[in-house]
């Protein structure tokens, strides 16, 4: 339930814009313009859920055979803060900036005159909310496992200046049904970018989870921390923090009598857990703990899952041997790693990534890599190895290894370079279905907003254009991907 969102809307006709001018700035998300309903690559299986202005459908993505969740958003129901200056769904710019193992992956965004369609990773475990109902409450180890992942994702978002604004168990998904508590933060429809020099306004969120300062219409990223605190409270106690079900009544309690944590409110819970709850549910946002501080709190650290060193050896070896010299080949590797690889292999590398990410900020730094390599070699050799890894793997040159970069470097591509997978990747670049890939199409997929000289794009083309005709055909593409593995 929202908290008094205004009814200012943009008309559906004004919202429509040319998606041919829109580009993905993330290496794994693609945008296109479609006419009518779901495109031919998607086969609808069933409806997963629905709200006032959106419905989520389970679909089979035919090129890979994988299940995807497609969120259909009616343009007429969007709030003005959810649309950018060019009448595009603001959620797009947020999603294209995020790349974290505990944030729901978005594959493609397209539109017709009345709707936006967001094609996303499908999590068969369903909502955390449903798990809470079935289990009643979680023990501290289970709760800490969930909170570690949630806070890591929010720490990553906040460092990217992304504020979720609607964190609740309904927007946290479980990766699978096997009892594993791996989560994915979803539904960034109310999210926004934060200007560090300004406070946010606009009342977004759900009654139980909304921070008191949001009701005062002046807040920052700390509103997400309050929501995380309420989620932790529910996980440990099995009950909501406020009595009743009427949203107006609950919002009044949030404003007039905000939640204050004492030992008696959470009986049987450890002192460390109470301490973290108190710090996240501090009424004064200036005094409230940050996501980075929370994810490294002793209560989280005590229960953090440890990956054995022998399970890291393959990934460390792959990082060391990775050669990222061919830009087009790298982009295709990212596509295969994020859209074609099996669920089980992604799960293995996700756990390895998190084990190397010592401070849980959703990225692997040079220092974190160096610490691990120094365990098995001399410091001077470790420094040399890590410098090479950063040069080859850090393709966006941000000084850290992002999740997709890590997957791309560690995957066993010989296993995935089948004719079918390569044809799928080729079609991803061949936007006009002409049977050849041009410089413009490479620029479109790899990032038209990236201000690179024309000579760089020409160099990318030359990686594969064997006959020098300015176009990469299917045979040249296959040769690029299967040679020099």
Question: Which parts are annotated binding residues?
Answer: 71
Reduced to 3 states (helix: H, G, I; strand: E, B; else coil), residue 304 is coil
Query: Which pair of tokens denotes residue 351?
Result: 């756990």
Q: Spell 123-141 as b/e; 16+ CB within 10 A means b.
A: bebebbeebbeeeeebebe
Q: How far is residue 119's CA from residue 109's CA, in Å, rounded to a whole number?
A: 6
CA distance linking residue 430 with residue 423, whole number of Å: 10
Of 324, 322, 326, 323, the residue nearest 459 (C-alpha): 326
State the Cα–Cα distance between residues 405 and 389, nearest whole angstrom: 11
CA-to-CA distance for 220 and 199, rounded, in angstroms?
6
- Is residue 166 part of the annotated active site? The answer reads yes
Which residues line the annotated binding site for ATP? 71
Active-site residue (options: 166, 175, 224, 357): 166
Distance CA 373, CA 381 (A): 9
Token digits of residue 236: 């440990």
Q: Is 332 exposed, middle or buried (CB count within 10 Å of its CB: 0-12, 13-18, 19+)?
A: buried
Residue written as token pair 């054995």: 308
Nearest to 318, CA basis, from 436, 405, 432: 405
Q: How many angstroms separate the CA atoms of 30 and 61, rounded?
A: 14
Is the CB of residue 279 less than 8 Å from the CB of residue 147?
no
Q: Sign of dihedral through CA atoms 200, 201, 203, 204?
A: negative
Active site residues: 166
């Amino acid at each position: 339930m929202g908290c008094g969102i205004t009814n200012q809307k943009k008309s559906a006709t004004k919202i429509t814009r040319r998606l041919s001018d829109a580009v993905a700035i993330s290496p794994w998300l693609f945008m296109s313009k479609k006419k009518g309903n779901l495109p031919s690559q998607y086969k609808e299986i069933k409806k997963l859920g629905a709200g006032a202005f959106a419905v989520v459908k389970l679909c089979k993505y035919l090129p890979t055979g994988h299940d995807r969740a497609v969120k259909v958003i009616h343009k007429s129901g969007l709030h003005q803060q959810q649309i950018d200056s060019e009448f595009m769904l603001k959620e797009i710019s947020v999603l294209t900036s995020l790349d974290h193992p505990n944030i729901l992956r978005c594959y493609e965004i397209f539109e017709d005159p009345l709707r936006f369609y967001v094609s996303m990773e499908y999590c068969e475990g369903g909502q955390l909310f449903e798990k809470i109902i079935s289990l009643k409450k979680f023990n501290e180890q289970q709760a800490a496992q969930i909170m570690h992942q949630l806070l890591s994702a929010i720490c990553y978002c906040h460092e990217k200046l992304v504020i979720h604004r609607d964190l609740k168990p309904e927007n946290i998904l479980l990766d699978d049904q096997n009892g594993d508590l791996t989560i994915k933060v979803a539904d960034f429809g109310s999210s926004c970018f934060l200007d560090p020099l300004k406070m946010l306004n606009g009342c977004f969120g759900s009654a139980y989870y909304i921070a008191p300062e949001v009701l005062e219409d002046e807040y920052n990223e700390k509103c997400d921390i309050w929501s995380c605190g309420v989620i932790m409270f529910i996980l440990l106690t099995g009950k909501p923090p406020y009595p009743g079900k009427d949203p107006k009544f609950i919002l009044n309690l949030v404003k007039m009598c905000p939640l204050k944590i004492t030992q008696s409110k959470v009986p049987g819970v450890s002192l460390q857990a109470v301490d973290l709850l108190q710090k996240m549910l501090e009424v004064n946002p200036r005094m409230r703990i940050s996501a980075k501080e929370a994810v490294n709190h002793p209560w989280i650290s005590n229960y953090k899952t440890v990956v054995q060193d022998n399970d890291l050896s393959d990934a460390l070896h792959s990082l060391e041997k990775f050669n990222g010299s061919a830009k087009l080949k790298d982009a295709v590797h990212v596509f295969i790693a994020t859209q074609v690889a099996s669920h089980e292999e992604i799960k293995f590398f996700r756990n390895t990534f998190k084990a190397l990410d010592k401070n849980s900020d959703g990225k692997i730094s040079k220092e974190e890599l160096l610490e691990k390599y120094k365990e098995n070699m001399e410091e001077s050799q470790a420094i040399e190895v890590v410098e090479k890894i950063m040069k080859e793997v850090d393709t966006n040159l941000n000084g850290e290894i992002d999740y997709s970069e890590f997957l791309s470097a560690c995957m066993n591509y010989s296993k995935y370079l089948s004719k079918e997978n390569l044809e799928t990747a080729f079609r991803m670049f061949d936007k006009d279905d002409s049977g050849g890939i041009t410089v413009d199409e490479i620029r479109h997929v790899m990032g038209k907003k990236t201000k690179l000289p024309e000579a760089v794009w020409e160099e990318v083309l030359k990686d594969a254009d064997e006959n020098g005709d300015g176009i990469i055909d299917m045979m040249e593409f296959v040769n690029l991907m299967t040679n020099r593995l």
